Amino acid sequence: MWVLSLAAQDAALRLIVPADGGTVKGTVLISVAPSQPNGVDNVEYWVNDQPISGPVVTPPFSFLWNTAWLWDGHAAIHALGRSTSGAVIASSLPMSVRIANGEGRISLEAPAAGRTLSGLVPWKVLATHSTGIEAISHVVDGDFQVYFQNTIPFDTRALRNGPHQVFNAVYAKGPPILPVAQMRTRVMVDNGHTSMGILPNWRTVFLRPSESVTLAARELYTDGLDGALKEGLTFSSSDDSVATVDEHGAVLGVATGVAFIRIAANGKKVQTRVEVSAEQVYPHFSRNGDFLTVYDPDRSLFVRTVFGLNADEIQATPGLGEQAQRAGINVLTEGLYANPGDSHVATLEAWRQDWDETWQAKLRTAARYGFSLYLTGDDIARTPNELNNSIANPWSAEAIRHAISSASDSGRVVAIDMIDEVNFLWGDDPTPQDGRWTKHSPQIPDDAFEKLMAIVNALPIRPAISWPVAGIASLDSVRNWQGDPLFSDFASHFWTFVDWRPAYPHGPSLNQYKRNMDLVALDRRASVRLSRPQLLQNSMTGPFYTKRSSGSEFNPAQDFLQNPGIPPVNVAAQVMYAAAMGQAGIRMYHYDTRSWKTDRRKASTGLGDLQTGAEPFTIGADRWDAMAAAFRLVERLEPYLLQPPLHSPELGASFVASVRQGPSSRLLLMINLSEADQTAQLDPTPYRYAEAKSATVFRLLGSSLTTETIDSAADRPVSFRPGETVVVLFTAQDPEAGQEIIRKRR
């Protein structure tokens, strides 16, 4: 047992960490002494300057740390003691331990330890495991690559001079899919004043037909300097029918669509995305489901909702409604339809009586807390039996129309998702011609979904409908289900990880989040209607595990961890990514419902695939808090966010950046999705108002949200932590006047 005494401002803590010769593995119980330090209300534990626990509120503030969530190697642990107000009143020096969990072995043969790296470096890893080695991952600042040999070409010329983190993991042949050995190496890179690439002035430009913009590029150097490229640039368009470009970089919008302008110089290539539309607007929803393109302070809504958080959960859980309000949630997710084929209700009158009673209870809860509703219509057509009942039962058409018209009449329904990930159930084409569904029992005709939409569209007024496809769906599937106006009025997107492995044992890197979200939020834009709103599903789930102990919560000492879930910083970054990418709202997956808790508690030992959600009280409260901080920031910025896009600057591959322009505001939103600290140079010239001397900066990192005022004319570097969002709000008046708009909106 190691004991380290810590001096603090108003209290003294001792950090207690069991270790054998300084080495830890498996689960480790961390605590502090004395068990009730003076003035300390809760304790947080940090490893390598990252929180590994939320606030631990029960003395002796013990926390069971699963060291397998971190890579093997040296780690520094420290504790923070906070008062009830959140102020840190006890802070420690770090305790150093060595984590050693891997069943295999890994070591770095070359380059030599401590050597400053430059140029193309052969990175040679010695890895062993009893079953043999399948692959070795090479992760530089979160950028994941996988190699099937032990010598890895490491091109340091793509990195800025200075410190970087390299993480390698060894994967064995056969199970498990988790790494069997890991190694983290901090390296120093110095390539002098060497070109590391070129960047265009804009990452995305938004044009109307006949509008133009001139592209330029600058060369980046490894010492952080850059220079404008004036010669040797070549430009070409991926689609001249959408946008053309001349030899000087002048881009002309031609017709609605998406094109890419390729820029080449000095053997390096980049591209700028061009979106051409007759109108530059921000499609979004109103509180009662109308489509809006112009911000309306009395009607506009950026959807913020959580799967599983519904009226039943709020009614059964004291304080949950108030917590949801405080978290910036503005929409509850509810079911739409109770299929009579499932309940065997015999008559329309009996069905309607049951449905109306349930529906009115949902409306009462929504009205009490001021929530709108987002509906899911899965029971209409998820199974062959349900779809057959919907199109063949003599009175089901009237039942479906009754449910949908009641939703419309309520004035609270934003929209309806008909079936989540519909292509998994019914394929990529809703209108096949080959009788593929006749194999089902009951048999389903090729025109089943056309018949269903005819029932729905018989209503003169109804909420907007979408048929979401899976995150790995093909673009043809997206176009058929979400881009075809016969089926979808807007696009509701799901996404998932398609990478070979997560970058780290504790989960994917921020770079992987960006790359996989881009596959949906960016790559699908040409396949859906850009004049209609789009929603993005994101995640705040926790441990996904196999049960080996009793209880309804993951026990890191005994249960087998299949996936550790989403870190709080990543939860907030996902929300802000959706806002930056022009989405009209976010659907977070998933509230830790009573049924989820019951399923985990009743699960037998050995049962796998048990999922943990998030809620504001106990389970996943740190993830909930991160979601809430991001939701509240979006709520605060809504008057400025739901405005037409301006050209977005190119800050570098790890960044997401977007700009909105309102009648008297310009909002610049930037997110660092690298695992390294980053700096971006902010030139305020395109955004500032000459009459306003200052601008407001919002910084969001996990659940931490801060605000400051800066000189609006200053050309300054902006620093970012991994996963941090920085928003700069320029208004025609100085910030205090601008805040009045926010106060009125809220």
Q: How does residue 78 score in pLDDT terms, banded at 50, 70 and 90?
A: confident
pLDDT tens-place string over residues 324-343: 999 999 999 999 999 999 98
- The H-or-E segment that residue 276 falls in is strand 268-276
Q: What are the backbone dihedrals phi and psi of residue 276, each rounded to the nearest 5 degrees, phi first?
A: -110, 130
- CATH of the domain spanning 105-189, picked from 3.40.50.450, 2.60.40.10, 3.40.50.300, 2.30.40.10: 2.60.40.10
Are the folds of 105-189 and 196-278 the same?
yes
Q: How does residue 114 score in pLDDT terms, banded at 50, 70 and 90?
A: confident
Query: Is pLDDT above 80 for 445?
Result: yes
Whole-number pLDDT of residue 736? 62
Locate the domains of the chain by residue range: 2-99, 105-189, 196-278, 292-541+566-592+615-638
**Cα three-residue angle 699-704-708, rounded to 5 degrees:** 35
pLDDT tens-place string over residues 496-553: 999 988 898 778 999 999 999 999 999 999 899 999 999 999 999 999 999 998 999 8
The first and second tokens of residue 665, run together, are: 């505001």
Q: What's the mean per-residue pLDDT of the chain?
A: 91
pTM of the model: 0.90
Strands 250-253 and 243-245: antiparallel
**Cα three-residue angle 234-240-242, rounded to 5 degrees:** 120
The verdict on domain 2-99 having CATH code 1.20.1290.10 is: no
196-278: CATH number? 2.60.40.1080
- CATH of the domain spanning 292-541+566-592+615-638, picked from 3.40.50.10330, 3.20.20.80, 2.60.120.10, 3.40.710.10: 3.20.20.80
Q: How does residue 176 score in pLDDT terms, banded at 50, 70 and 90?
A: low
> CB–CB of 92/4 below 8 Å?
yes
The first and second tokens of residue 526, run together, are: 């040409």
> CB–CB of 520/587 below 8 Å?
no
